[in-house]
Structure 1
Amino acid sequence: MSIEAPETKIVDTAKIACDGGEGALGHPRVWLHIPAEDGFVECPYCDAKYILKGGPADTGA
């Protein structure tokens, strides 16, 4: 049984920044790189999942 990521975002670039998106209640900003072979990356702080548009993980949903 898998648990869904708290938030999933479709992005246009392979390099993205995540800060938890909640202002002072978020987390330190981290820069993440989406590997081309996977097409997605998960934030190590908040578990938000970033999917590269048109990549292998983009199901078009």
Structure 2
Amino acid sequence: MTTQAPETVVVKAHRIACDGGGAATGHPRVWLQIPLETGFVECPYCDARYVHADFADKA
């Protein structure tokens, strides 16, 4: 059995919300802040990685 890699989403805002993608498979909505230094943040629930558009080519 293999596990799927977490989802990577390119976004234009530095503050985003993650709810895991749906009611049946989701999680409580959390607000995440993308640091200006690194350009990405990972959701503590579902491990989705949110990358700011300015850093998309570096992620």
TM-score by length of 1: 0.81
Give the deviation of 1:59 after TM superposition.
Answer: 1.0
Q: Name 1:28's counterpart in structure 2.
A: 28
- What percentage of aligned pairs have identical amino acids? 61
Q: Give RMSD over aligned pairs.
A: 2.0
C-alpha distance 13-5 of structure 1, shift in aligned 2 (>3 A): farther
For 1:60 and 1:35, the matched residues in 2 are separated by 14
Q: Name 2:57's counterpart in structure 1.
A: 59
For 2:54 and 2:25, the matched residues in 1 are separated by 32
Work out whether residues 18 and 43 of structure 1, in 8 Å CA contact, stay in contact via their aligned partners in 2.
Answer: yes
Structure 2 residues not aligned, in runs of 5+: none
Structure 1 residues not aligned, in runs of 5+: none
C-alpha distance 13-43 of structure 1, shift in aligned 2 (>3 A): same
C-alpha distance 5-39 of structure 1, shift in aligned 2 (>3 A): farther
Q: Which contiguous aligned blocks of 4+ residues in structure 1 show a shift greater than 6 angstroms? A: none
For 1:46 and 1:25, the matched residues in 2 are separated by 10
Aligned length: 56
